[in-house]
A and B are shown apart, each in its own frame.
Chain A
């Protein structure tokens, strides 16, 4: 407790210094302006306004971000009161009393009550959170999947019960909302659900994902020509072509080496079981004698790289990452090339790694039993 109070004292000492207060004021002002926009909540507001803090030191930047957050929270209530359009989810309840007061010509007092109420509640809740955070965190750590599921179920039931009108309508809206939440990558299995080939939907229907693109992505496309011996499963790579875009290439030799290294590391991963265990659970690839570490002999004999430079506007160098584009396409392109090479036998490759023995076995079985999927 004494430590918490001491930290609070230190925090106020820093936050109340004039230089920091100016940035807090600016953050609140800009955050309020952004928060007034319907659909742009505190999180989206912070994401949009993040570049404003790039030139600041950490303390001022954090204070300004906090100001933007609280300003955006308050800004959302302005449209709730004046137009009955909540700026963000937390302002929905403000529509009820605030808009009614505005209709009676008391919009000013409604906005003032909202501001004072937000200030008092926000300050008290922050202090209370600082005091109660340690025991709350200890309690929350006891939560496991059953507790979280029960909590979610309770939330949905309360939502359905508290919704105005029919409880059935509330349940229907809750189910529809959850169904919309299914759009995107399933966190457990990695399947892309209800995206219909739209990459932007991979992150779901979140507002921030649609409105903010602060990250930059490198691109890499690979093509490979190879031969597979159907009798032995032996695989010989003849030519490897990479079209790579990491923005502005600062050092071509380094980027080439990065792509080479990515491909050479990816090939053994696709063709060998790296972590193999026997029936007794004994690890079979415990040393570098068995573990298929990439060597120079794994490098394709013909290696071509084409650099496409589309500089990102998000940093002064226009550079993107150069690591992922080299290694990530290796597995699927190898699987597709092997499937193409063994197409006359009807072998379909659906996973990596695939060993020579497995390929050989697939070809043999395909000859007698028809098309086979690995």
Chain B
């Protein structure tokens, strides 16, 4: 039976295995002179062990058919917007990337009014740029178009 606990265990095993595989590219060292892979390898093994225990334990957690996540649509959309900003911030610049993200979040996801969406988007995108870049002198990316 697939439960939330077993899914979590599987994810932990996966993360531990990837971290172990990546970590072992570095020198492992010895107990007396641990190398850069020593602690990551131990932590990865601990994660794998805990994951296996979570998978093996028969009780605990919610059954997969009973799991409900009403906010999943919002969560996926917000994650997608975060990924969009991470990928385009340097290319589009702070103002354009933030404006595009806010338009999607407020206009499409939250279904706010057009005037409210546009005013808030412009105010936050350009206002935050002015506050951080011009007043606080924190360099923000401008992108290829200078925005």
Contacts and interface: CB of A to CB of B under 8 A. Distances in A.
Contacts of A182: 19, 23, 39-40, 43
A306 to B, nearest CB: 23
A51 B137 CA distance: 7
A212 B132 CA distance: 10
Given A168-B53, A186-B36, A314 B139 contact: yes
Given A171-B50, A179-B19, A213 B43 contact: no
A188 interface: yes
A166 interface: yes
Nearest to B133: A313
A314 B26 CA distance: 37
A189 interface: yes
Residue in A51, A175, A211, A314 whose Cβ sees the most chain B Cβ within 10 Å: A175
A212 B50 contact: no
Contacts of B96: none
B46 interface: yes
A302 interface: no
A213 B36 CA distance: 27
Interface in A86-103: none
A175 B43 contact: yes
B136 interface: yes
A191 interface: yes
Chain B residues touching A, range: 20 to 34
Contact of A175 (B27, B50, B132, B137): B50
Contacts of B136: 48-49, 51-52
Interface string B1-39: 000000010001001100100110011000000111001
A176 B15 contact: yes
A199 B12 CA distance: 27
Contacts of A193: 23, 26, 36, 40
B103 interface: no
Nearest to B23: A193
B98 interface: no
Contact of B36 (A52, A169, A188): A188
Interface in A326-368: none
A161 interface: no
Contacts of B23: 182, 193-194
Contacts of A8: none
B60 interface: yes
Given A175-B46, A182-B23, A314-B137, 8 more contacts: A51-B135, A52-B136, A168-B54, A179-B44, A182-B19, A186-B36, A194-B40, A213-B138
Interface of B: 8, 12, 15-16, 19, 22-23, 26-27, 34-36, 39-40, 43-44, 46-47, 50-51, 53-54, 60, 132-133, 135-139
